[in-house]
Amino acid sequence: MSALPARPRVAVVGATGVVGRVMLDILHERSFPASEIVAVASARSAGRRIAFGGQTLEVRALEEGVFEGIDLVLLDTPDDIARTWAPVAAAAGAIVVDNSAAWRMDRDVPLVCPEVNASALATLTTGIIASPNCTTLGVVVPLGALHRRFGLRKVVVSSYQSVSGAGRGGIDELREQVDKLAGDPGAIEALASGTARDLLPPGELFAAPIAFNVVPQAGSVREQGYTSEEVKLATETRKIMGLPDLEVTATCVRVPTVVGHGAAVWARFAAAVDIGEALRCLDEAPGVALTELPTPQLSAGRDPSYVGRVRPDLGDPHALCFFCACDNLRKGAALNAVQIAEHLLPT
């Protein structure tokens, strides 16, 4: 489908954030055929200059009239801003690809991972398309391929999510705590004895100190003890896969990595899983790179969902285990949105 002109005018909203900055890099790297790119952020950032390719763009404030003449809006802002401004942009005639959680579960908004359900773009009626959560994307790219071959029935995921998943504030919180401990010669002993807690500045974004720690609560606590990230992973996976009854259970954990979300996945299928066939299927899957050791550091700055440690469930011939790692700012957000936009260009 071609909902966009051949040389669209593009607005990147949230251009000063961690996703927005990567969005600009990816538009440049992929030579997206924009006739113009407008960088937009809050009024706090108006007038700042940010890099795009070899040039700089002056940031405009998000305000009435900013979408005039714009064909494509790539929205990389907090949920409440996206909830308010996506309909404004759509009413002004733009197609909106939103990276926030504001519209993902809206029944009239397609939620798209192009490797899995590009066909959902044909259902576009509101002008708003949602891009999935970063952890969901890294997992559904390999799972989608396995589902097409074996028929997915149940998934159990444990995530290892980097601090940039919480935006630039997440990186700042880790940096502040690491700097504090790194400047203290007794830090290792303090960590070993449990007194490091007293040395650290209080965190705002994470539920416990994140430096040299593992925090088994990513997102806010919701129903029945699950967190918002765990609920998103379940509901979004069902919507993208078109499997409303899919059994999904997740435990989402924040770890002190900077970029790249890891996930340990156990999946059960309708058909028995031959390990050689599963590996072939993953090897041929678009967006997947099979590798021996898929770490967040390997994924950072790169496009694929890296998949490895693929092995059978020794007690269940229908189940498979693997680990995947994916750059949460690229495939987990900006790249996926640009891929969606590319699908909307005339061929």
Ligand X SMILES: NC(=O)c1ccc[n+]([C@@H]2O[C@H](COP(=O)([O-])OP(=O)(O)OC[C@H]3O[C@@H](n4cnc5c(N)ncnc54)[C@H](OP(=O)(O)O)[C@@H]3O)[C@@H](O)[C@H]2O)c1
Which amino acids are annotated catalytic?
134, 261
Residue 77 or 177 having the CB closest to ligand X: 77
- Whether residue 259 contacts residue 296, with contact meaning beta carbons closer than 8 Å, is answered with yes
Stretch that binds ligand X, among 15-23, 189-197, 215-223, 244-252 (CB under 6 A): 15-23
User: Applying CB under 6 A, which of residues 37, 45, 104, 211 lies at the interface with ligand X?
Assistant: 45
- Whether residue 246 contacts residue 237, with contact meaning beta carbons closer than 8 Å, is answered with yes
Query: 């949230």: which residue's tokens?
Result: 14
User: Applying CB under 6 A, which of residues 110, 165, 256, 308 lies at the interface with ligand X?
Assistant: 165
Please, what is the Cα angle at 115 between 5 and 220, to 5 degrees? 100
Burial of residue 30, with CB atoms counted within 10 A of its CB: 0-12 exposed, 13-18 middle, 19 or more buried: middle
Residue 99 or 299 having the CB closest to ligand X: 99
Please, what is the Cα angle at 18 between 100 and 61, to 5 degrees? 75
Helix axes 134-150, 275-284, angle to 10 degrees: 120
With binding defined as CB under 6 A, does residue 97 bind ligand X? no
**Which residues in the 188-247 window bind ligand X by CB under 6 A?**
none
Terminal CA-CA length for the chain: 9
User: Applying CB under 6 A, which of residues 67, 77, 103, 231 lies at the interface with ligand X?
Assistant: 77
Burial of residue 162, with CB atoms counted within 10 A of its CB: 0-12 exposed, 13-18 middle, 19 or more buried: buried
Query: 């340990």: which residue's tokens?
Result: 264
User: Applying CB under 6 A, which of residues 8, 14, 138, 256 lies at the interface with ligand X?
Assistant: 14
User: Applying CB under 6 A, which of residues 24, 72, 97, 99 lies at the interface with ligand X?
Assistant: 99
- Whether residue 347 contacts residue 329, with contact meaning beta carbons closer than 8 Å, is answered with no
Q: In whole angstroms, how close is the CB of 78 to ligand X at the nearest point?
A: 5
Stretch that binds ligand X, among 71-79, 198-206, 219-227, 242-250 (CB under 6 A): 71-79
With binding defined as CB under 6 A, does residue 113 bind ligand X? no
Query: 């806010």: which residue's tokens?
Result: 220
With binding defined as CB under 6 A, does residue 332 bind ligand X? yes
Q: In whole angstroms, how close is the CB of 44 to ligand X at the nearest point?
A: 5
Q: In whole angstroms, how close is the CB of 76 to ligand X at the nearest point?
A: 4
Phi, psi of 108 (to 5 degrees): -95, 5
With binding defined as CB under 6 A, does residue 121 bind ligand X? no
Residue 13 or 288 having the CB closest to ligand X: 13
Q: List interacting residues with ligand X (CB under 6 A).
A: 14-20, 41-42, 44-45, 62, 76-79, 81, 99-100, 134, 164-165, 167-169, 328-329, 332-333
